[in-house]
Structure 1
Amino acid sequence: MAEATGQHLYVMQNEFGLIKIGRSVDVERRRLTLQSTERCRIQTVEIYTGCGDMEEDIHLDMDDHRLAGEWFDGSDEARAALCELISCDDPPIRWPYAYDPSGASAWLDHINVVRHAAAIRRELYRQITILRDGHEPSWVYDSGVFYAKWRAATGRPPGLDTVKIDGQTATHWFDLDSDAEGIVPAFTASVENALLAWPDDLRPATWIGTPIACCIAALAAIRDRLPRVERRPTPDHAG
């Protein structure tokens, strides 16, 4: 990543009037990338050459108007606060899009669902990759399997901490939203335990292979059954 002092500060706006404040060495390339990944039309409002180091301070000062990541409210109050920070009253900023609160809310909801689903898939893939390099049973692998399985099932992470049981390290799990708790099964210690990594309705009756291979297959099955979240159509590039 380039140093902030070598980047340009930019202000962008999406088609629902939300404001993005960021930095980049190539603002137009950044805009086109965002327009593709965020699935909405985006226009560059202002570029402040070489002022990338201002981004963090502006984000902090604009925090009351932050909605998600580098996206900020598009209300008159948010626009006025930004203009005050960057002294843009003369000449005034010309905003290409009117603020559409209902459209912005629907867009944010959809983007959050897409990102959440992608994060769960990445976690499952990450744990599968770790297990592929595993050769011996480990409570560390067991914790990773449990974490990925729980998150895929509930949409949120479990609480985990380590404990000693009969002199052996194990992982204690607890539900952050209830009183449920327990000890993570030693999935990688035996095929019998590894089969517990499978959801009940997908679990095979038997497994021919190693416990680690069984855990990998379980996480792959969980990943494959996750619902696909349809993305909004990618818009034509805005000018």
Structure 2
Amino acid sequence: MSSLYVMQNHVGFIKIGRSVDVDKRRRQIEMTDECTVALVAVIPDAGHDEETMLLNLADHQVIGEWFLGDELCRDCVAIEIEALCEVLGRDPPALEWPFPVASEAATEAWLDRCEQRRTVASINREYGRRIRAMAESSSSASDPSRYNDVSLWSLLWRFERQVGTIVTPKTGKKGETVLVGHREGDAVGEIVPHYSTDVTAALLLWPDADRPEAWSGSAWDCCIAALKARKARLASDGLAALWPNDAEIPVGKPYL
């Protein structure tokens, strides 16, 4: 069975979770969250109570399973641990906090890095899903809703730039139906490019530094290759490498 653990990092934040190997989990957190982590308490075979404790401490939550490390939060954690141990018929462990709460500048800097890592991880997962979906599908499959084009356009904005998006059908100047994408904070919509069927549009998906001058294959395969290039660029150079400045964002034509 899993154990419930209480940990604290170098800026004073508190983390509560469960694991079958608590020390291994501590080392993993140090790597993924880029912080020094100390073990404060372990309650064997009590991992099932994690969700309840997280809910009870929600007012102190900072990010993920990290909570404020101030005196009020520490007292609340102690109360939760004592209540749990009473139910289990055990003596509560003594909670000794090895790290003081760091300065506001230090905590904000760590939180910013943490947010960036989580954003990058989310985008990376979305790249993987879209690459797999397109690789497993057929470029010749009927797609009257242009689902793939909308998904690719949304990926660029909703996931990479973290802005709200909505796509609506409109009537073009020649009476044809066009898909217009709207971004949060942008009053003028843009026509969603035909990424999956037009090589010229598909080439817009590539990171500027990696974009080939020409593509001899299908637009579909160009899209897949472009997503793989964006995924690789994200892993090597971070999110800023995809769009170094707003002038290089691969937008579609404005809908006027």
- 1:153-164 matched pairs, under 5 angstroms: 155-161=161-167, 163=169
The amino acid of 2:114's aligned partner reads: I
- Find the residue that maps to 1:13 and give its secondary structure: strand
- Which residue of the partner structure matches residue 246 of structure 2? none
Distance apart, 1:30 and its partner CA: 1.2
Deviation string, structure 1 residues 18-56 (Cα, Å, up to 9, x no partner): 100111122122112112222222121111222222211
**Does 2:118 match 1:111?**
no
Distance apart, 1:229 and its partner CA: 4.5
Structure 1 CA distance for aligned equivalents of residues 19 and 182 of structure 2:
42
Distance apart, 1:220 and its partner CA: 3.6
- Cα 1:90–1:76 change in 2 (3 A) is same
- Cα 1:143–1:165 change in 2 (3 A) is same
Q: Is the 8 A contact 1:162 1:169 kept in 2?
A: no
Give the number of the structure with larger relative contact order, counting CA–CA contacts within 8 Å between residues 6 or more apart: 1
2:198 to 183, 186, 190: 190
- Paired residue total: 223
- 1:89-238 matched pairs, under 5 angstroms: 92-102=94-104, 103-137=106-140, 138=143, 139-151=146-158, 155-161=161-167, 163=169, 172-198=180-206, 206-226=214-234, 228-229=237-238
Deviation string, structure 1 residues 121-151 (Cα, Å, up to 9, x no partner): 3323432332222322532221222122335
Distance apart, 1:192 and its partner CA: 4.0
Bigger CA drift: 97-106 or 8-17?
A: 97-106
Structure 1 CA distance for aligned equivalents of residues 10 and 206 of structure 2:
43
- 1:24-39 matched pairs, under 5 angstroms: 24-39=19-34
- Find the residue that maps to 2:97 and give its secondary structure: coil
Structure 2 CA distance for aligned equivalents of residues 210 and 157 of structure 1:
30
Q: What percentage of aligned pairs have identical amino acids?
A: 35
- Cα 1:160–1:36 change in 2 (3 A) is same
Structure 2 CA distance for aligned equivalents of residues 10 and 25 of structure 1:
10
Distance apart, 1:97 and its partner CA: 1.8
2:43 to 38, 41, 48: 48
Structure 2 CA distance for aligned equivalents of residues 91 and 188 of structure 1:
59
Distance apart, 1:113 and its partner CA: 1.5
Structure 2 CA distance for aligned equivalents of residues 200 and 208 of structure 1:
19
- Cα 1:29–1:223 change in 2 (3 A) is closer
Deviation string, structure 1 residues 70-119 (Cα, Å, up to 9, x no partner): 00001111101111222289764111222213333322211222222233
Q: Any unmatched runs of 5+ in structure 1?
A: 1-5, 231-239
- Cα 1:30–1:199 change in 2 (3 A) is closer
Distance apart, 1:198 and its partner CA: 4.5
Q: Is the 8 A contact 1:185 1:193 kept in 2?
A: yes
Q: Is the 8 A contact 2:126 2:155 kept in 1?
A: yes
- Cα 1:42–1:9 change in 2 (3 A) is same
Structure 2 CA distance for aligned equivalents of residues 200 and 91 of structure 1:
56
Structure 1 CA distance for aligned equivalents of residues 178 and 29 of structure 2:
43
Structure 1 CA distance for aligned equivalents of residues 209 and 93 of structure 2:
64
2:54 to 53, 56, 59: 59
The amino acid of 1:76's aligned partner reads: E
Distance apart, 1:228 and its partner CA: 2.1
TM norm structure 1: 0.77
Q: Any unmatched runs of 5+ in structure 2?
A: 84-90, 240-256
Bigger CA drift: 187-196 or 23-32?
A: 187-196
The amino acid of 2:98's aligned partner reads: P
- Cα 1:196–1:14 change in 2 (3 A) is closer
